[in-house]
Structure 1
Amino acid sequence: MSTHGPPDVTQSRTSDRRENIQLCVCKNYVSIQTRLIHEYERQRRYRHSTLSSTEWPQAFPVISELRQLDEAEFLRRTLRQSHSGYELVGAFRGSELIGVLGMRPVHTLARGAYLHVDDLVVAAEARGSGAGHALMEFAEADACAREMSAVFLDARPEAVAFYERRDFVLHPAPSMKKIL
């Protein structure tokens, strides 16, 4: 009986499968590692900070791309909302404010404690840069730090896809209002 015969086909197929599995695992690891590196690089591009009331006027040009208010009314409303915990968070590229997030803690019987995002705006020239994504990550991390169960928001139809890419889902309860 020769010890140097043809390779055992079963062993060869098993070996191929192992190599394929290892290759697959390796590719997934590289893919995950690449995504983490890209995420880290993206996050380094922006500095986030909660804006003080003296910085609110800086946010007006960005906010005015979403909200049709004059600056005085914007400042009045922001001050009024701040008494209930509303905060403006800025995304800065260098010293330039390119995005603004308006958020507030909410506590209800129906939902418990959650964070509500009232405003998310990225300057037109910075859209697609990842600043909106970074601001939403900030909101989610803030909600977790406050031990809140969820983040809620109202989205314009053209922004729904952005939020769905961030794993938000449409809420089944319709919002209703009555103009007085």
Structure 2
Amino acid sequence: MPDFCAAYGCSNHRSLQTRTRGITFHVFPKTGERRRQWELALRRDGFVSSGRTLLCSEYFRSEDFDRTGQTVRLKDGVVPTVFNFPAHLQRPEATRSTTTSRRAEDEPQPNVVSILNVAKTREMVIDFRRVRTSPLPLCILGEDVAVVEDYKYLGVHLDNGLNWRINTDAVHKKGY
């Protein structure tokens, strides 16, 4: 009798083709809390595993495996975590309930400096700090960084308030 993966929508079964693709099959834990965790991770209503229920390796992270011997084994205590559930089985993400918490997500965090790679050889530093705490010029990894009031690059104009427009004509830096 062929062995099929018990995951929702998975059609992998133990065969020469799946073995050549590197897919391995793993029996559910025999008893206990870990077996229950595996059953819950599948998110199948009323699902109860049997002694021969299998799950294929596609539902585990690569670091969950012990590949030191001739056979591929799961490390102790591992629970399947890599699933691509349809929308009706997805767990909803918690949304912010107050306007203050939503506004806090949108505003830049104080004392944060981001470095964006805007070209293969050029980086742009965006200073989100409300009050500049470091003396001019700004220095990162021993290199002086030019402070500009606004920045135009590849058709995007970004000012010091992080407001941006598109369709500008030329690359332009204006220092202060």
TM-score (norm 2): 0.23
The structure where helix makes up a greater share of residues is: 1
Return the index of the structure with the highest Cα Rg.
Answer: 2
TM-score (norm 1): 0.22
